[in-house]
């Protein structure tokens, strides 16, 4: 359905996106992962035709949209990272405004507004000003505006940032429903790995403006298939212990979330003996040790050297 | 589509009480305050003064006059010449003129309260007076000697002002400086062979016959400030519209609007038209309130609407221009500079605070064609009863400004596909 070919965008002193290639098939949900500054939002702006690329192409059903952005705009709904709504208008007025500028006919508009309000669960608050809404309700309406003109493809740029778990679950369920029931293709970016794991069929991982890994969840996890993750919980984390762990020959990656340490090591390597020995030497009390198959978070850490939320 | 953009703008302004206070409440309060506080300056009225003047009379004016008449009578000149000179002495007693023609004049009788004293008051008592005037002994005699016999110096009055009463002191100082100059002039006239009374009467008759040059309706202070403040505050609509537009960009609403295939120029036309409408409504509310509460009424309503509409279009041009700069520079600095720095300058140069005709010269000329000055001048003339053709140069100046602003906006507007 959509194909991104060698897409690049250079600003004055910065190469924000460097030769990105990706594709979306009709009806699938694709995750775009990356830490802050990875180039996700710029990539979304390029795909949605708001920004001209320095080079490369975006092709919709085999037609370039660079020169004719109207094509993609008709079938595209974008949920921006910010709450792109008028705070001094009611939920209904916001939907009516965006519906009208999408040229939805007056006779259809009211029905579509009611439908969207029902999907996002704000029917009973439709007459309230948006500025009186909670963060979660604003996020839901932000999604609702992108659904009004019944898009085939929806791009969501971190739609759950800064909201409570209940609203987050509601949004995730809504996205899942839109994808399964209405067959809407979704490109979803997030800081939350569990969201991407839950929603997405395939994942692209971006860092420093480049796609550094791509594939299904299983394919991505397979990057670390020969490795295992060891999570150590200690009473008090000592710098000396950490340094000694880092120096171990089989440790490929180490991350710290005080008082826990996560190591990525080859499955074959038996380093448990060393862990305890070093703990004894540095007088570190180990509370627990968990050995797990690597998660997407571990893969991300392995690839970028950073936590997703860094 | 443009209708939706406009409707949204109107709702946004309507639902922001802070903006409404700036656009409607503040100018109306200022019209009332400035009209009342500076009304006397505009209307040419004397401010209410309460001048208390202590006069220490050491001179015996009647004795001085009598002495001079006797001296004149003893001179070896013809009886006719004596009669004229004695008549001159009688009619030109400076102290009598001071009390009867100055202190008791229509102009000053209500504002100057004269208390005659024999001795200098104590320091404490002196504080109760705006000034203390001492008429030295022999003042009248000295005046006549200098005037008719060319003897002695021109006599001088001694005035001490109370420094704490600045305005009253200043008025007293002006009165006595002027009076002293008059004494010097009058005392020189007889020696030049001119009859002082004739000259004085001639001057008075000329002043009395001064006519108002224009026969148009005079504009009072409240009306002037209604015009001045309305013209000043209409520019805040432009600043406000540009700020709202930038909020749309910062919150990615602008991107969302573009994604709905709304062309960039249409978005800016929305800003332009909505600003015109908001300004037009603002002007009519402000002038309507001014008419109801202050009695500011327009002699020709159609002319008023034509001028108002022309100015509103210019404000729309400003809104688009500032928005274009904001969008291009990705910052709100243009709005901030416009609202905090440029509007006060436009208002001052245009004459929103003081009538520029009182400054005159080059400044007045610049003001006439500045965005605010042209507006004030056009309104002012319409208010005076002039016709639209009389304000065509002002309307042309406003229209040229509008066209320039729109052309510049087209040049600097954001292009499709530029970074948002």
Contact A86/B256, CB-based, under 8 Å? no
Average pLDDT over residues A179-186: 91
> What ipTM did this prediction achieve?
0.81
Asked whether residue A310 is domain-assigned, the answer is no
Domain CATH for A59 = 3.40.50.300
Between A272-281 and A239-246, two packed helices, what is the crossing angle to 10 degrees?
150
Residue-level length of chain B:
420
What is the nearest CA distance from A66 to chain B, expressed in angstroms? 9
DSSP result, A26-54: TT-EEEEE--TTSSHHHHHHHHTTSS--S
**Which of A197-206, B295-304, B314-323, B351-360 is least confident?**
B351-360
> Which residue range is the domain that position A287 belongs to?
226-293
pLDDT at A194: 85
User: What confidence score (pLDDT) does residue B93 get?
Assistant: 82
A240 in the same domain as A204:
no
The answer to whether the Cβ–Cβ distance between A98 and B256 falls below 8 Å is: yes
Total count of residues recorded for chain A: 310
d(CA A84, CA A146): 10
Portion 47-76 of A in contact with B at CB < 8 A = 48-52, 69-70, 73-74, 76
Taking residues A93-121, what's their average pLDDT?
A: 93
Q: What is the pLDDT, as a whole number, of residue B209? A: 36
B259 contacts in chain A (CB < 8 Å): 48-50, 73, 76, 78
Q: Residue A28: which of A149, A161, A154, A151 has the closest Cα?
A: A154
Residues A175, A258 within the same domain:
no
Query: Residue A263 and residue A254: Cα distance in Å, rounded?
Result: 5
Distance from the Cα of B22 to chain A's closest Cα (Å) equals: 18
**A279: in domain:** yes
- What is the rounded distance in angstroms from the CA atom of residue B2 to the CA atom of residue B20? 23
The DSSP code sequence of B254-277 is: HHHHHHTT--HHHHHHHHHHHHHH
Alpha helix stretches (DSSP H) within chain A: 40-47, 70-75, 91-101, 106-119, 135-147, 165-182, 193-199, 217-221, 239-246, 272-281, 296-304
Q: Judge if A216 and A89 occupy the same domain.
A: yes
Q: Please list, in sequence order, all residues whose beta carbon lies within 8 angstroms of the beta carbon of residue A179, skipping any fewer than 6 positions away.
A: A27, A29, A185, A186, A199
pLDDT digit string (tens) for A213-253?
899 888 887 777 778 888 899 888 888 888 888 888 888 88
State whether residue B330 is helix, strand or coil: coil
**Do A134 and A204 share a domain, yes or no?**
yes
B5 touches chain A (CB under 8 A): yes
Q: Cβ distance A226 to A266 under 8 Å?
A: yes
Judge whether A9 lies within some domain: yes
Contact B12 A86 (CB under 8 A): yes
- Going from the C-alpha of A230 to that of each of A160, A237, A242, A245, A263, the distances in angstroms are 30, 16, 14, 12, 5
Ramachandran angles phi, psi of B53, nearest 5°: -120, 125
Are A72 and A210 found together in one domain? yes
User: Does residue A169 lie within any of the structural domains?
Assistant: yes
In this predicted structure, the answer to whether residue B166 has a pLDDT above a threshold of 70 is no
Residue found under tokens 């940032």: A161
Q: For chains A and B, count residue pairs whose Cβ atoms are closer than 8 Å.
A: 78
CB-based contact B11 A93, cutoff 8 Å:
yes
Q: Please check whether residue A306 lies inside any domain of the structure.
A: no
| pLDDT score at B210 | 33
Residue where a domain terminates, one of A221, A247, A279: A221
Do A35 and A98 reside in the same domain of the chain? yes
Does residue B281 belong to the interface with chain A, where contact is any CB pair within 8 Å?
no
Which of B4, B5, B252 would you mutate first to test chain A, the one with the most A CBs within 10 A?
A: B252
Q: What is the DSSP string of B346-373?
A: HHHHHTSSS-GGGT-HHHHHHHHHSHHH
Q: What distance in Å separates the CA atoms of residue A123 and residue B345, rounded to the nearest whole number?
A: 50
Owner of token pair 């209409």: B234
Whether B17 and chain A come into contact, CB under 8 Å, resolves to no
A203 with A72, same domain? yes
Q: Which residue of A has its CA nearest to B14?
A: A88
Q: Name the minimum distance, in Å, from the CA of A89 to any CA of chain B.
A: 7
What does the alpha-carbon distance between residue A93 and residue B241 come to, in Å, rounded to a whole number? 19
Nearest one of B153, B151, B186 to B68, comparing CA atoms: B151
Token couple for A130? 């948006």
Mean pLDDT of B352-362: 73
Which tokens sit at B110? 């209500």
* Closest CA of chain A from B301, distance in Å: 35
List the single best residue of A44, A50, A67, A142 to mutate versus B (max B Cβ within 10 A). A50
Do A201 and A232 belong together in one domain? no
Q: How far is CA A270 from the centre of its chain?
A: 35
Q: What is the pLDDT of residue B197?
A: 56
User: Residue B213's pLDDT is what?
Assistant: 37
Rounded to the nearest angstrom, the minimum Cα separation between A86 and chain B is 8
Tell me how close the Cα of B13 comes to any Cα of chain A, in angstroms.
9
Distance CA B71, CA B89 (A): 11
**B37 burial type by CB count under 10 A (0-12 exposed, 13-18 middle, 19+ buried):** exposed
Q: Which SS3 state, helix, strand or coil, does residue A115 take?
A: helix
pLDDT band at A122 (very low <50, low <70, confident <90, very high): very high
Selected for mutation to probe chain A from B5, B255, B256, B264 (highest A CB count within 10 Å) is B256
Q: In the predicted model, what is the mean pLDDT of chain A?
A: 88
> A29: which strand partners?
A186
Q: Which of A221, A242, A260 is where one domain is finished?
A: A221
Residue A13 pLDDT level (bands cut at 50, 70, 90): confident
CB A85 to CB B251 under 8 A?
A: yes
Mark whether A155 and A242 lie in a shared domain. Answer: no
- For chain A, what percent of residues have pLDDT higher than 90? 44
In a domain, A307, yes or no: no
A73 and A23, same domain (yes or no)? yes
Q: Is B420 in contact with A48 (Cβ distance < 8 A)?
A: no
User: What pLDDT is stored for residue B360 in this prediction?
Assistant: 64
Domain identity same for A94 and A126 = yes
């Amino acid at each position: 359905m959509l194909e991104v070919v060698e897409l690049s965008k250079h600003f004055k002193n910065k190469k924000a996106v460097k030769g990105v290639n990706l594709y979306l098939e009709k009806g699938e949900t694709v995750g775009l992962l990356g830490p802050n500054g990875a180039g996700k939002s710029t990539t979304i702006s390029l795909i949605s035709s708001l920004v001209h690329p320095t080079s490369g192409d975006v092709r919709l059903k085999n037609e370039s949209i660079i020169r004719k952005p109207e094509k993609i705009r008709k079938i595209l709904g974008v949920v921006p990272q910010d709450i792109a709504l008028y705070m001094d208008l009611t939920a209904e007025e916001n939907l009516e405004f965006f519906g009208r500028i999408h040229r939805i006919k007056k006779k259809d508009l009211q029905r579509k507004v009611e439908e969207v309000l029902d999907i996002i669960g704000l029917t009973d608050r439709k007459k309230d000003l948006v500025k009186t809404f909670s963060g979660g309700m604003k996020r839901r309406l932000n999604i609702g505006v992108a659904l009004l003109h019944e898009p085939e493809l929806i791009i969501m740029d971190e739609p759950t940032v800064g909201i409570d778990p209940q609203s987050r679950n509601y949004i995730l369920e809504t996205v899942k429903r839109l994808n399964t029931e209405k067959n809407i293709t979704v490109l979803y970016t997030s800081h939350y790995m569990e969201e991407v794991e839950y929603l997405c069929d395939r994942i692209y991982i971006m860092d420093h403006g480049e796609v550094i890994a791509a594939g299904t969840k299983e394919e991505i996890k397979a990057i670390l298939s020969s490795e295992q993750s060891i999570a150590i919980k200690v009473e008090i984390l000592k710098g000396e212990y950490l340094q000694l762990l880092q120096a171990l020959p089989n440790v490929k990656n180490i991350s710290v979330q005080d008082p826990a340490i996560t190591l990525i090591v080859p499955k074959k390597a038996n380093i448990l003996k060393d862990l305890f020995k070093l703990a004894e030497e540095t007088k570190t009390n180990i509370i627990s040790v968990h050995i797990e198959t690597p998660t997407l978070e571990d893969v991300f850490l392995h690839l970028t050297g950073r936590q997703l939320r860094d | 589509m443009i209708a939706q953009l406009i409707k949204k703008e109107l709702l946004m302004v309507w639902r922001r009480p802070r903006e409404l206070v700036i656009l409607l409440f503040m100018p109306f309060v200022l019209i009332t305050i400035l009209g009342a506080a500076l009304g006397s300056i505009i209307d040419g009225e004397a401010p209410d003064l309460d001048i208390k003047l202590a006069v220490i009379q050491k001179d015996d004016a009647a004795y001085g006059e009598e002495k001079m008449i006797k001296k004149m009578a003893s001179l070896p000149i013809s009886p006719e010449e004596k009669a004229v000179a004695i008549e001159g002495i009688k009619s030109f007693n400076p102290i009598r003129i001071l009390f009867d023609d100055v202190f008791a004049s229509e102009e000053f009788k209500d504002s100057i309260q004269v208390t005659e004293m024999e001795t200098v008051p104590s320091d404490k008592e002196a504080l109760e007076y705006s000034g203390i005037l001492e008429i030295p002994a022999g003042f009248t005699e000295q005046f006549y000697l200098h005037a008719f016999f060319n003897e002695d110096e021109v006599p001088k009055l001694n005035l001490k002002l109370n420094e704490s009463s600045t305005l009253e002191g200043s008025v007293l100082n002006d009165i006595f400086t002027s009076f002293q100059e008059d004494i010097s002039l009058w005392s020189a006239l007889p020696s030049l062979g001119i009859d002082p009374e004739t000259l004085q009467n001639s001057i008075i008759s000329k002043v009395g016959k001064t006519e108002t040059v224009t026969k148009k309706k005079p504009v009072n202070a409240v009306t002037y400030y209604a015009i001045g403040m309305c013209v000043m505050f209409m520019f805040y609509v432009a600043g406000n519209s540009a700020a709202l537009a930038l909020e749309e960009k910062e919150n990615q609403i602008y991107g969302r609007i573009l994604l709905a295939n709304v062309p960039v120029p249409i978005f800016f036309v929305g800003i332009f038209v909505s600003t015109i409408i908001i300004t037009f409504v603002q002007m009519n509310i402000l002038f309507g309130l001014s008419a109801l509460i202050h009695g500011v009424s327009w002699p020709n309503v159609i002319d008023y609407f034509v001028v108002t509409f022309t100015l509103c279009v210019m404000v729309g041009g400003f809104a688009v221009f500032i928005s274009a700069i904001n969008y291009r520079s990705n910052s709100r600095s243009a709005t901030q500079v416009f609202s905090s720095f440029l509007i006060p300058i436009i208002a001052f140069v245009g004459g929103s605070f003081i009538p520029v005709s009182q400054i005159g010269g080059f400044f007045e000329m610049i003001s006439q064609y500045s965005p605010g000055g042209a507006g004030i001048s056009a309104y002012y003339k319409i208010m005076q009863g002039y016709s639209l053709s009389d304000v065509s140069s002002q309307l042309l100046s406003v229209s040229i400004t509008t066209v320039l602003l729109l052309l510049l906006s087209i040049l600097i507007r954001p292009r499709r596909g530029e970074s948002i």
